[in-house]
Amino acid sequence: MEQFHPGTMHWDTAGEYRNLLVAGSALVLQTMHPAVGAAVAEHSTYKQDPWGRLNRTLTSVQKWVYGGAEGLEEGRRLREIHAPISGTDEQGRSYHALNGEAYAWVHLTLFERFITLHRYFGKPYSAEQERLLYAESRQLGRILRVPEREVPPTVEEFWPYFDEMVASRLEPHPTALEVLATMRGTPVPPMVPRALRKIWTPVGMGSGEFNYFVTVGTLPPAVREVLGLSWSARDERRLLRLGRAVAALTPHLPERARYLPIAYRARRAARRRRELSPAQ
C-alpha cells in the first residue's frame, strides 16, 4: 500500500499546528452522526481526559501520514480497538463504531476540514489541488481501512455526498452539543504546575471562547443551522481578519514552530536522507 512522502499534499499540511484551528469543528461534525455521537458518549475519554485524548488523536493522525510502515500498523490498530465498540443509544438505536457509513464519515470530515482550513487560514486550494488532495484522502482511507464503497470516488461526487449527509443524516446530537459546551471552558492542561492552576480559570475561559468562536465560525452554515448556532456578518468579518493574520504568519514560522513534533522529525529525517543520497 502506497504511503505518504515528501511532495504529497498531506506531507506538507497534515502536521501543521494550524490544523488545531479546525480540530474542534471536526469533532463536532463527526459526533453529529448518531452512531459516532453515541459511541463517543459511551466509550470516549474526551470528558474525563480531554488533553490526553487530543494528544492521542494528534499522535495517531501524524502516524498515518509521517509514520511510513508505522502508519499502516496504526490503521490496523484503530480498526481493532473500535471493533468491540457497540451498543444502543438514548433513542434505542443500535450503533457500532465500525459501521461503514459512520467510519467513512469520520474519515471524510478530515478532507472537508482541510479545505475549510485553507479557505480561512491559508491560501484557498484550486480545483486541481482539491482533486489531488481528495485522491490522497482516498489513499489515507485505505490506510485506515475505510470501506471504499462508502467513499465517493471523485471530489466532484464528494460535495453532493457531504451536503446530503448534513441534510439527512446529521443531527444536533447531545454529544456534539456537549463538545461545544465543554469547549467554552478549556480545562487545565496537565503540564501546568499545581501552584499555577488556580489562575488558569480566566486563561481557560479566554482560550475556550476563542476556540468556540473559531469552531462555530468554520462550521458550514447548514451545520450551524442544524445545531441552532447563531453567526453574524460581524462575526464572519472578525474570523476573516483572524484568518488573514494566520495565513500571513504561517509561512514565515520556523519549521519546528510550524509542525507538530512527529511531523517535524519526519520532515527533517526525509531531508537528511535526500542530502545524503547523492553523496552515497
Give residue-wise pLDDT tens across range 93-139: 899 888 999 999 999 999 999 999 999 999 999 999 999 999 999 99
Q: Which of 51-55, 87-91, 105-109 has the lowest mean pLDDT?
A: 51-55
Q: What is the mean pLDDT of residues 140-144?
A: 92
Q: Which of 123-127, 187-191, 211-215, 232-236 has the lowest mean pLDDT?
A: 187-191
Q: What beta strand segments (E) does the chain contain?
A: 86-88, 94-96
The mean pLDDT of the chain is 88
Instruction: Produce one character per residue of 173-192: b if its CB has 16 or more CB atoms within 10 Å, e if not.
Output: bebbbbbbebbbebeeeeee
Q: What is the mean pLDDT of residues 235-242?
A: 96
User: How buried is residue 87: exposed, middle or buried, by Cβ count under 10 Å (0-12/13-18/19+)?
Assistant: middle
Q: What is the pLDDT of residue 200?
A: 42
Residue type for 107, please?
H
Q: What is the pLDDT of residue 19?
A: 94
How many CB atoms are located within 10 Å of the residue 118 CB? 20
Taking 90 as the threshold, does the pLDDT of residue 259 lie above it?
yes
- pTM value? 0.88
Higher model confidence: residue 47 or residue 244?
A: 244
Q: What is the pLDDT of residue 193?
A: 61
Q: How far apart are CA 88 and CA 22, in angstroms?
A: 29
Taking 90 as the threshold, does the pLDDT of residue 85 lie above it?
no
Q: What is the mean pLDDT of residues 184-198?
A: 57
Q: How far apart are CA 75 and CA 148, in angstroms?
A: 15
How many CB atoms are located within 10 Å of the residue 25 CB? 26
Q: What is the mean pLDDT of residues 234-253?
A: 96
